[in-house]
Amino acid sequence: MMRRCLLVVAALAVAAFQHPSCSSCSRLPARLPPRPAAGNRRAETGEATRRQARVAQQVRSELAILIRDGATRVKSTARVDPAVLRATSVVDVTVSPDLRAATATVTTRGDAAQKREAFSWLVANAKGFRYALAQRLRHSKRVPEVTFRKADVGGAVALMRLIDEANEGLDDDVIEGGLDFGLDLDEYDDED
């Protein structure tokens, strides 16, 4: 019994002094975590692949046409004033990496009631838009399911206008970030 314990202790001592990556070592080296596949790197960083960008551009252009001609192309029970639909534009479309879902950012020029009417019509007819996209994009294997998101471009334009009005009263010879943009270098050349 004592002999077995000594052998076990001796074996443990020898294993402790051996390098884990040695070929003579009985222990296997620790496993490294798997490297991400080449296609997954962009998904981790949030960048769109070329295919996502291409599909997003196709969906964006076709959605813009469908919204403009929406009263006749998309089958729906609710009707919207065609002038409101012509005032609606697709700002951006993002497509998921598996190309099954797309988020379209839309904006409408006009008052709040027209914006609400146009957006509610778009959301109510999302399945009709997908069907119409499938008819127009027959070459695609899969047509993404479209969800709509509002973008208030009018609010951003109003804010930019306020910033421009505030900047009009400032002097042009202002030092910004440590740089003097109003500095005349010809004055210093005359002193030499």
Domain annotation covers residue 134: yes
Q: What pLDDT is recorded for position 164?
A: 85
Q: What pLDDT is recorded for position 47?
A: 75
pLDDT tens column, 3-21: 555 444 455 544 544 455 5
Domains: count for the chain: 1
d(CA 126, CA 154): 24
Q: What pLDDT is recorded for position 159?
A: 84
Domain annotation covers residue 21: no
Domain annotation covers residue 128: yes
Q: What pLDDT is recorded for position 140?
A: 83
Domain annotation covers residue 66: yes
pLDDT tens column, 76-96: 666 778 888 888 889 999 999
For position 116, which CATH number holds? 3.30.300.20
Cα torsion at 126, 131, 133, 137 (round to 10°)? 160
pTM, to two decimals: 0.58
d(CA 30, CA 132): 54
Domain annotation covers residue 83: yes
Q: What pLDDT is recorded for position 36?
A: 56
- For the chain, which ranges sit under pLDDT 70? 1-46, 71-78, 169-192
